[in-house]
Amino acid sequence: MSEKIPCNITVALEDFSFSVGREEEEFVRKAAKLINDRMKFYQESQKIAVPKRLLALVALDYVMDNLKFDSKHTELQNTVMSKILEMDDLVDSILDA
């Protein structure tokens, strides 16, 4: 079982304090930084000041990125499986000859 450590972060001007496993702490901190950086980008480029609207745009961005990644991952998995099946058929035909 992983040791839990305290983790204090700020996301969208809100402070959060909770315990996470050592291996998760880095991801939590990076995620908070990415959210805050993306909020700052929208605040500066789109001149949006309302935190709720900024968070909505950031959520939309990251969910879209995740969906695109999932789609590409699935496509890659299908391609790899197709190639494996082709190779398996080729090996079978060689062994049967």
Indicate if the pLDDT at residue 5 is higher than 90: yes
Token reading at 71: 């789609």
CB of 32 within 8 A of CB of 9? yes
Q: In what helix (H) or strand (E) does residue 85 lie, and over which residues does it extend? A: helix 51-96
**Domains of the chain: total:** 1
Model confidence band, residue 97 (pLDDT cutoffs 50, 70, 90): confident
pTM: 0.76
What confidence score (pLDDT) does residue 9 get?
A: 97
CB of 5 within 8 A of CB of 19? yes
> What does the alpha-carbon distance between residue 37 and residue 34 come to, in Å, rounded to a whole number?
5
- The residue segments making up the domain with residue 46 are 4-96
Q: In what helix (H) or strand (E) does residue 15 lie, and over which residues does it extend? A: strand 14-21
